[in-house]
Chains A and B, each alone.
Chain A
Amino acid sequence: MTLTLNAPRIVETRPLLEVHGVSKSYGSVQAVRNVSAHAYPGEVLGIVGESGSGKSTLLRMMNLEEIPEAGSYTLDLPDVSGNLFELDRFARRMLCATKIGIVYQNPHLGLLMKHSSSGNVAERLLVAGERSFATLRQAATEALDASEFPLDRLDAPPIELSGGMQQRVQLAKAIALEPALLLLDEPTTGLDVSVQALVLDTLKRLQQDRQITMVIVSHDLGVIRTLADRVMVMRRGAVVETGLADQIFQDPQHPYTQQLVHAKL
């Protein structure tokens, strides 16, 4: 009797996101140097590092807000091909609107503070070309509901909401078009611990329900540990260690990672 073994899924599937050899500097400061990263469909990639380690810059490049001096970026999606850094402004905008969702640490960056919360979510669909009021209204309500936003505050402007609620609006906006990739830039920093736990809960549930590929950037190892499958540790613009989350937290190899993990515990 011969036993045929199927190759593990991770061998067969191709990464959804691949960033290869990106470098970016601001004047004389080299923010990111020769960084490569990849994330498989449905996987959560965590990026940790201290302030100024280049993790946010990397995330902004993944959202095509910044274009690096060198490197390539591909998304393995139907009707997306080639190095995304070479897209023109117009194609870049359409891609960001329909395929990528982002949640910023500072809600002022991602939201129109004086417009209604549902309007903020609807904007995403408007940019993608939806022109029916009823559809917009329904999609906005559904997305806000999915991110566990209280629906009686549907039309309150974010400026009147608490920090946790603002993050939920951002999240709803990010997932409104069912993006293939969700980028989270310190989504819970600045929230108090109990609210932080609630937002993390929502994120985890969303991830389980929808199998979205996520890249989460944080300096907080607790957040990364809760969400991430795989972790990348960055320092001074370069990757010092990558591995499965448990591997990194239980058995850190690089001295800097060891320091980080011990400082946390």
Chain B
Amino acid sequence: MSLSTLTKPWEAMSYGFLDGSAKRELRRKMLKSVAVPGCQMPYASREVPMARGWGTGGLQVSLTLVNPQTRVKVIDQGADDSVNAASIRRFIARVAGTPTTMDTLEADLIQSRHRIPEEVLREDQVLVLQVPNPEPLRPVQPNMSIARQMHADADYGRMWLQLYEQIVRSGRVMQGASYPSLVHGRHVMTPSPIPRWDVPKLHMAEHLTILSAGREKRIFAVPPYTRVEPLVFSDVPYKVEEHGHLTCTRSGTKGFFMNEVPQDDGSSAFEVSDSEWGVKTIRARDGIGESRGETWYKDGEMPQ
């Protein structure tokens, strides 16, 4: 028996771009992060043909999870058609031969930057979020060694100091995205820069969420049916963005997270941030079939 009989023949590229050992590393760390919800696991982040900060962490997780049957959807700030989303989607399809989709209901794997789709995700779906800065304590504790100790001790008092400062300075909590949240009553995580609107969607969600920061080499997860509670003062309730009453100028859908489009006359128009939800609404209006799934928010309110 020689070495050449034991090894695979040379290939120009391995399936899903990453080599076997890289995928094994990621799988192990994903399992670990699911086992300890919200706890940041360091992992050996690999090079992918994309600059750090453009979703390399999320891409590595997606490339590890896909098989030729996985339907992949990629979102960038709610849109499926932005350059970044389109490029990542095309890349995954090219190296893994996966079918792609824009429909949230059809997708098995959703890689997203900054948004969670408006339609409710199911148990058989996985959401991968790209994270630029995984450390919620960084604004209050620049020393990462001490920050890790604080995580170990669940010493999160200073996170409320940040909120206190915002209320004192501005009269309300100003934290717009990456709202620090307590996962499973133990670890505080930053849920990637999703708006406040999206944080309640993670609470007791049916789907698995994996958050991965490629540059910072940290991975953490919110397993299905796990509590995710945004940090609040007992007498200052958590508030999502006041978008419940806004109507999308393009599709006419109402009660979802909107993008503000400044107009020439100084006023603002709004269009729904989840572009696929907008497309579906227009199709339904024009009578071109296509089913719309159940949404997390109903009439602009998150049912408790």
Contact = CB atoms under 8 A, between A and B. Distances in A.
Q: Real complex partners, A and B?
A: yes
B94 interface: no
B15 interface: no
Nearest to B159: A126
Interface in B152-178: 153, 155, 157-158, 160-161, 164-165, 167-169
Contacts of A136: 164, 233
A119 B164 contact: yes
B153 to A, nearest CB: 5
Contacts, number: 48
A128 B160 CA distance: 12
A89 B149 contact: yes
Contacts of B236: 133
Given A132-B233, A133-B235, A126 B157 contact: yes
A127 B235 contact: no
A115 interface: yes
B149 A116 contact: no
Given A89-B153, A131-B160, A119 B235 contact: no
A112 B160 CA distance: 14
B158 A126 contact: yes
A26 interface: no
A112 B142 CA distance: 12
B155 A133 contact: no
Interface string A107-122: 0000010011011001
Nearest to B149: A89
B165 A93 contact: no
Given A89-B149, A132-B234, A133-B235, A123 B157 contact: yes
B166 to A, nearest CB: 10
A251 interface: no
Interface string B221-242: 0000000000001111000000
Nearest to A112: B161
Contacts of A132: 233-235
B165 A131 contact: no
Given A133-B167, A133-B236, A155-B169, A119 B153 contact: no
A190 to B, nearest CB: 26
B234 A116 contact: no
Give the interface SS of chain A, mostly helix, strand, loop or mixed.
Answer: helix
B168 A119 contact: yes
Given A123-B158, A126-B160, A116 B165 contact: yes
A170 to B, nearest CB: 16
Contact of A155 (B149, B160, B168, B235): B168
Contacts of A122: 161, 164
Contact of A131 (B153, B155, B168, B234): B234
A136 B163 CA distance: 12
A221 to B, nearest CB: 38
Contacts of B157: 123, 126-129
A116 B233 contact: no
A134 interface: yes
A115 B165 contact: yes
A126 B161 contact: yes
Given A115-B161, A119-B164, A122-B161, A93 B233 contact: no
- Ordered nearest first, which 6 A-B pairs have the shortest CB separation? A126-B157, A127-B157, A133-B233, A132-B234, A131-B234, A126-B160
19 contacts: A89-B149, A115-B165, A116-B165, A116-B168, A119-B168, A122-B161, A123-B157, A123-B158, A126-B158, A126-B161, A127-B155, A128-B157, A129-B157, A131-B233, A132-B234, A132-B235, A133-B164, A133-B167, A134-B235
Interface of A: 89-90, 93, 112, 115-116, 118-119, 122-123, 126-129, 131-134, 136, 155
Given A122-B164, A127-B155, A133-B167, 5 more contacts: A119-B161, A119-B164, A122-B161, A131-B234, A155-B168
